[in-house]
Amino acid sequence: MSAEIRELEPKALWNKFADLNAVPRPSKKEERVIAFMKDFGASLGLTTEIDAVGNVLIKKPATPGHENKKTVVMQSHLDMVHQKNADTDFDFDSQGIEMYIDGDWVRAKGTTLGADNGLGVATIMAILESDTIAHPAIEALFTIDEETGMTGAMGLKGGWLEGNILLNLDTEEDDEIGIGCAGGIDITATRSYIEEQTPEGKTAYQIAITGLNGGHSGMDIDKGLGNANKLMNRLLFDGFENFGLRIATINGGSLRNAIPRESFASIVIDSVHQEAFEYEINELIATIKKELAVTEPHLSIAVTTTILPETVMELGVQEGIIKALYAAHNGVYTMSASIPDLVETSNNIAKITIANGSLTVQCLTRSSVESSKMDLTNKLRATFELIGCDVEASGSYPGWTPNTDSEILRVLDNLYQQMNNGEKANVAACHAGLECGILGQNYPNMDMISFGPTIKGAHSPDERASISSAQKYWDFVLEILKNIPNK
């Protein structure tokens, strides 16, 4: 299907995107895409370097007439979020993304598309390869592991880059110019439990929650989307309170930065309550579907009888985790008081695993205010420690503080208006984790800005990239490069 993608305009951009999407590039497994980028830089005869953590830097001199302009760092991340629908047979470790055109959108068949941040990477590749695009000296920085810890940006040493301006190509609305973002921290609660033999006289059920939209746990956290883990816990809580439901296993969600779309649980109840339980849970399912009818029209909750499991979860620990998950905050925690409509702090209960005597709950907490981030972190820690969990807070990274007096912001703001009949861009901070805040720690004087083409449904199999927006964005990039300020 990449053949029809390669015919889209601008061809330079879409061809490089197709090349990139043929290379498996999961977070923390970027060896193949690092080698791909190294070979790409070498094939162009450009200085290509790889640092100790795996970030790739390709340098290209200014085109004639642009030698006196400031050096620009063009930056995007190489890794992509790997999510697929439960009924999609796909191996992210060995297969390239299968793309197709759907009207004005490029999509993938049952998986994430990798437009986040593949379109940014492809943009930079196309500019590096071109011998006709005017530009100042470019340092093309391709970072690794942005999606699961930002370890590439964190490992980037000061002094490696010489550029004065950083263009981060990781924003997902083509009318937005990003000047700030949230920081984040991973919260992980774990504990062991005793597996008890399943009592006699039980009936077993499999509960499967599927069909939710999912999405980016930062950018989509305020959209009222369903969280499969919270919905599953609501069902289990009701079954436990009314019928003494016992849990055998739970497997919900996948990645911290993706709102969980699916959850699966194996449970048992007393056989004498089978009819009443089925009536009650179906009533609750109908209520949940009605509540989410607008935001989650494809929600499916199936409850089916299954083979009786050999063991169930220790009763006291089960009661504790069900109640803790009900109490644990999920979604928007606070809105910004200084920036209208900006989520300040949030949490995503991303992944829950209960099996084989071990339970794990993984969350991602985000905030543009460090003190608020730690406040919610402590609230979650307290919630899970009360039931005997060990709670680890790790991978903390800072937000990016907005600079409204930025020189490159003025350039982009003016250019956007000139190119769009006077319409002003939306200059804003976002509730996602961009790498700018981390990079700014070692490069405090670098002038940073973020922008990109329109991408919807990032971090979910509904991810799609607008074709018309890609052309608009490409034209914008070329004009920006022509208008970089002088040294």
From 145, 146, 172, 447, active-site residue: 146
Are 439 and 156 in contact, with CB atoms under 8 Å apart?
A: yes
Pairwise CA distance, residues 197 & 141, whole Å: 55
Pairwise CA distance, residues 446 & 436, whole Å: 10
Q: Where are the alpha helices (H) located in 292-395, listed in sequence order?
A: 315-327, 370-385
Q: Please tell me what DSSP assigns to residue 271.
A: G
Pairwise CA distance, residues 322 & 206, whole Å: 17
Write the CB contacts of 253 (distance below 8 Å, at least 6 apart in sequence).
Answer: 228, 229, 260, 261, 262, 263, 349, 350, 351, 352, 362
Q: Is 146 a catalytic residue?
A: yes
Given 3-state DSSP classes, what are the helix, strand and coil percentages for the chain, each rounded to the nearest 5?
A: 30, 30, 40
From 79, 344, 462, 463, active-site residue: 79
Residue whose token pair is 């015919």: 7
Q: Kindly provide the b/e burial profile for residues 109-129, where b requires at least 16 CB atoms within 10 angstroms of the residue's own CB.
A: eebbbbbbbbbbbbbbbbbbb
Are 9 and 471 in contact, with CB atoms under 8 Å apart?
A: yes
**CA-to-CA separations, 479 to 141, 142, 300, 304, in angstroms, rounded:** 20, 22, 47, 58
Catalytic residues: 79, 146
